[in-house]
Amino acid sequence: MKPLANPTYLRALRGQSTDYTPVWIMRQAGRYLPEYRATREQAGSFLDLCRNPELACEVTLQPLRRFPLDAAILFSDILTVPDAMGLELSLNEGIGPQFAHPVRNAADVERLPVPDPEDELGYVMEAVRTIVSALDRSVPLIGFAGSPWTLATYMVEGGSSKDHRRVKAMIYESPQVTHRLLEITSDAVAAYLNAQIAAGIDAVMIFDTWGGTLGDRAYREFSLAYMARIVSQLNLGDENDPDGRIPVTLFTKGGGQWVEDIAATGCDGIGLDWTTSLGDVRTRLQDRVTLQGNMDPMSLYASPEQIRAEVKAVLDDFGSPGRHVFNLGHGILPDINPDHVAVMIDAVHSLSRR
Amino acid sequence: MKPLANPTYLRALRGQSTDYTPVWIMRQAGRYLPEYRATREQAGSFLDLCRNPELACEVTLQPLRRFPLDAAILFSDILTVPDAMGLELSLNEGIGPQFAHPVRNAADVERLPVPDPEDELGYVMEAVRTIVSALDRSVPLIGFAGSPWTLATYMVEGGSSKDHRRVKAMIYESPQVTHRLLEITSDAVAAYLNAQIAAGIDAVMIFDTWGGTLGDRAYREFSLAYMARIVSQLNLGDENDPDGRIPVTLFTKGGGQWVEDIAATGCDGIGLDWTTSLGDVRTRLQDRVTLQGNMDPMSLYASPEQIRAEVKAVLDDFGSPGRHVFNLGHGILPDINPDHVAVMIDAVHSLSRR
C-alpha cells in the first residue's frame, strides 16, 4: 500500500511530530454544504443516501474539494447498527430517527442478533471500499460507530429523547438487562468496526454522544466499560509497527471530567467538547493521548476576525505543539456559512505551522 | 429572632459540625405531589400560583408536612425577574415559558430597567414574609434567583431552547451587547435577592441551569463573572458573626469542571449535578466550601432497596462527615412516586447519622 500523501492526522494521533495541527470537522459532509443538499435530494432520503455507496462516497469527498482538510470521514449514521439488529430504522424530517421495534425488556434484548457486517451492513463496507479507492491515499479515512450506551439510548427510547428517561430508568430498575443489551450491542459494534478496518479505513472514531447524561459511577459502568471492551476487540494492527497501527479516538460529549479513565481504555485519542479546557486535560494526561477538539460550533456564527481569534484561543489553550487534532467540540450546524469554515481551517493551519 | 429548631442545613453550609447530613430537594414543592397539583388547580395557572402569596406559602410547606426535610425553599420561578423587567412572561402547558418582548439587540438591552423588587416583585416578597411567619423558625427558608446567564438565555431566545443558538451567536457576534445585558440583569438579580434577604430568607441559592452550555473560557466571562458580581453585592450579614451570615450556594448544571473558579467567588456552597464525583471535588477544594448534591433524579424510579443503595453510594462518594448537603443533582421529576422520596430522605438521615 502506498504511503498517505498527507499523514498529518495519523501522525498526530500516534504522538509523532507534525508540521502543523491537523484539522477535520465532525459532520464535515453535511447540510451546511449546498452540494451536499443537492446530492441528498438526488438520493432521496437520508437513509437512501447512506445506503448508496457511490453517493455516500460523493458526499464524503465534497468537503475535501472545498477545504484542505487533513482527514475524510465515512458518510454514514450511527443508527445503521441497531437497524441491522432488526429494530427497523426510519429517519423523518422534523421528527428525527425512529425505531419500529424498540427494546423495552429482557425478552426484547435476548432476541437481538449480532449482525454479520458484510452481510447486513454490506452497503457501508461497499461505501468504505469506494471512498478508499477514490481518496487514493491522499488523506486518511476515518471510520466510526456509536458507543454501545449511545446506541442503547435510541434503541430503548425508540428514537431521540430529551431526557432519556426510559433508558435511565432501565439502568436503575434492571441493571442486568441493561448490561446484557450493552454486551450484545458492543459485540455488534466491534464486528462492524473490524469489518470497516478490513475494508480499508485508516482510523476509528467512537461517538458517545450521550455518555455525559450518566452519573459519575454509571458512566464508568454503562458506557466506558463497553467502549473499553470494543477497543480491546479491534484489529488495530501490529503494536510494534506504529506506522501500521490504526488509531482509535473516543468522544464522550460532556466527558471532560472522566479523561483519565477514558485514556485508560488504551485509546489513542480523546475527543473533547468546548466546555473543557484542552490545556487542563493535557496537564492531567501528560500527553499520553492525543486530544481532539474543541471549538464551540456556535462560534462559527461570528465574523471572520472573531473566528480567527477563537481558533487562536483554542490553539493557545492546548499550548506548545503536541498531540492535538483540531476540531469543533460537536458536529457543525446546518446553517453555518461554508466561507466561515474556510476561515477556520486556514486559521488552524497558518496559526499552528511550526 | 429566635433560633432555628433545625439549623442543620445552615450549619453544614457554614462548615460547622452536624448530627447527620441535611437534605432538601430541588423542586421539592412540585408536581410529583398530589396536594401540589390540587393547589395549583385551585390557583389557576402556574403564574397565578407564583403571584398568590398564601398559595405559594401553602405549596412551599406541603413537602415539609410529608417529609422531614432540613430546609424549605421559596416557591417561585426564576423568570419572574425578566418578567418584571418588562419582557412579559407567559407559561403555557406543553409549550413552556415564553416572553412577549424578547431581547434581540443593543436597543432592546438599553431599554431594560432594573426593577424595584418591593414594587414590581412585591408578590414574591409577600410570599417570603408569609412563609417565614408560617415556618416559625422550624427550618431555614432558602430564597433563590436564576443566574444572569441563565436568565439571558430565556430573554434572548424568547423562551426555552434546545441549543440556545440565538444567545450563543450573540456572545460571539456582539460580546459587548451581551455584557451589557448581563450587567443589567445582574443588578436586577442582586436587588431581588437583597429584597428577599430583607424579607427574611435564611439562605440564598443561585441556579445557573445553562452555564454548562458555555465553552470553558466563555463560562468564566459570561456566567461566572456575573454570579461573582452578585455575591459581592448581597447583604449577607456580619462576616464576624457566622451564626448570622446568610450562606450562598451556586449551582451550575454541568459545572463540575469549574469548581475551583466557582469557589473563588466567595460562595459558601456549590451545587453539583450527578455527572461529578463529590469525592473528587472535595479533594480538589479541600473542604473550603460545602458541596450540595448529587443523586441522579432518575434513580428515584428504582426500587426502595436500590434507592437506599444509591443514597449510600452518594454518601460514600463524599466520604467522612463534612461539608455536605444532600440533594438530587437536578430538580425532581414530576412522575416520581412520593413514597420513593420518603425512602431517600430516610436513607440520607439514617445512613449519615454520626
Contacts of B85 (CB under 8 A, 6+ apart): B112, B113, B114, B115, B155, B184, B185, B188
Q: Tell me the per-residue pLDDT of A170-196, one tens digit each, with 9 for 90 and over.
A: 999 999 999 999 999 999 999 999 999
Mean pLDDT score of chain A: 96
pLDDT at A162: 87
A94-115 average pLDDT score: 95
Mutation for B interface: A157, A216, A222, most B CBs within 10 A: A216
CA distance linking residue B169 with residue B215, whole number of Å: 13
CA distance linking residue B248 with residue B194, whole number of Å: 12
Q: How many CB atoms lie within 10 A of CB B333?
A: 17
- Report chain B residues whose CB lies below 8 A from the CB of A173: 301-303, 306
The pair phi, psi for residue B20, each rounded to 5°, is -160, 175
CA distance linking residue B153 with residue B166, whole number of Å: 8
pLDDT at A244: 81
CA distance linking residue B6 with residue A46, whole number of Å: 60
Q: How many CB atoms lie within 10 A of CB A181?
A: 27
pLDDT at A80: 97
One-letter amino acid of A151: L
Rg (CA), chain A: 19
Q: Please give the grid coordinates belonging to residue A300.
A: 462559527
Contacts of A173 (CB under 8 A, 6+ apart): B301, B302, B303, B306
pLDDT at A2: 87
| H helix intervals, A235-303 | 259-263, 278-285
Beta bridge partner(s), residue A293: A326
Q: Please count the CA atoms within 13 angstroms of the CA of B267 that sit on its side-chain side.
A: 31
Supply the residues of B annotated as catalytic: 27, 31, 40, 77, 154
Beta bridge partner(s), residue B294: B327
Exposed/middle/buried for residue A240 (C-beta within 10 Å: 0-12, 13-18, 19+): exposed
SS3 A166: helix
Q: How many CB atoms lie within 10 A of CB A61?
A: 17
Q: Please give the grid coordinates belonging to residue B35.
A: 396536594
At residue B239, does pLDDT exceed 90?
no
Minimal Cα distance from A316: which residue of B?
B217
Minimal Cα distance from A313: which residue of B?
B217
B242-249 average pLDDT score: 88
Q: Tell me the per-residue pLDDT of A36-80, one tens digit each, with 9 for 90 and over.
A: 999 999 999 999 999 999 999 999 999 999 999 999 999 999 999
- Confidence class for position B294, pLDDT limits 50, 70, 90: very high
At residue A311, does pLDDT exceed 80?
yes
Mutation for A interface: B275, B276, B310, most A CBs within 10 A: B275
Per DSSP, B262 falls in state H
Share above pLDDT 70 across residues of chain B, in percent, rounded to a whole number: 99
CA distance linking residue A270 with residue A168, whole number of Å: 25
Mean pLDDT score of chain B: 96
At residue B317, does pLDDT exceed 90?
yes
Instruction: Show the beta-strand stretches assigned E in B171-283.
Output: 203-208, 248-252, 269-271
Q: Shortest CB distance from A276 goes to which of B216, B298, B310? A: B216
Q: Please give the grid coordinates belonging to residue B135.
A: 415556618
At residue A287, does pLDDT exceed 90?
yes
A5-12 average pLDDT score: 97
At residue B348, does pLDDT exceed 80?
yes
Q: How many CB atoms lie within 10 A of CB B22?
A: 28
- Report chain A residues whose CB lies below 8 A from the CB of B172: 296, 298-299, 301-302, 306, 310
CA distance linking residue A256 with residue A209, whole number of Å: 13
Chain B residues touching chain A at CB-CB below 8 Å: 163, 165, 168-169, 172-173, 212-219, 254, 256-257, 274-277, 280, 296, 298-299, 301-303, 306, 310, 313, 317, 329, 333
Q: Tell me the per-residue pLDDT of B25-54, one tens digit each, with 9 for 90 and over.
A: 999 999 999 999 999 999 999 999 999 999
pLDDT at B329: 97
At residue A93, does pLDDT exceed 90?
no
A241-257 average pLDDT score: 92
CA distance linking residue A19 with residue B159, whole number of Å: 47
DSSP assignments along A309-352, one per residue:
HHHHHHHHHH-SSSSEEEEESSPPPTT--HHHHHHHHHHHHHHH
At residue A242, does pLDDT exceed 80?
no
What is the distance between the terminal CA atoms of chain B, rounded to a whole angstrom? 29
Q: What is the dihedral of CA B210, B213, B214, B220, to 10 degrees?
A: 50
Q: Do B306 and A172 touch (CB under 8 A)?
A: yes
Cis peptide before A294 (omega within 30 of 0): yes
Closest alpha carbon to B329 in B264, B257, B270:
B270
At residue A329, does pLDDT exceed 90?
yes
B244-249 average pLDDT score: 94
Between the CA of residue B306 and those of A18, A76, B250, what are the distances in Å? 51, 39, 29
CA distance linking residue B43 with residue A62, whole number of Å: 58
* B287 Rama class: left (phi>0) / alpha (psi -120 to 50) / beta: left
pLDDT at B93: 77
Q: Domains along chain A?
A: 8-352 (3.20.20.210)
Beta bridge partner(s), residue B250: B206, B270
pLDDT at A343: 98
At residue B308, does pLDDT exceed 80?
yes
At residue B238, does pLDDT exceed 80?
no
Q: Tell me the per-residue pLDDT of B99-156, one tens digit each, with 9 for 90 and over.
A: 999 999 999 999 999 999 999 999 999 999 999 999 999 999 999 999 999 999 999 9
Closest alpha carbon to A195 in A204, A185, A184:
A204
pLDDT at A240: 73
- Which pairing describes strands B96-99 and B89-92: parallel, antiparallel, or unpaired? antiparallel
Longest Cα–Cα distance of chain B, Å, equals: 57
Q: How many residues does chain B have?
A: 354
CA distance linking residue B98 with residue B40, whole number of Å: 20
At residue A92, does pLDDT exceed 90?
no
Rg (CA), chain B: 19
| H helix intervals, A200-320 | 216-218, 225-233, 259-263, 278-285, 304-318
ipTM for the predicted complex comes to: 0.91
At residue A19, does pLDDT exceed 80?
yes
Indicate which residue of A77, A261, A296, A346 is catalytic.
A77
Contacts of B283 (CB under 8 A, 6+ apart): none
pLDDT at A267: 97
Mutation for B interface: A280, A298, A318, most B CBs within 10 A: A298
B166-171 average pLDDT score: 94
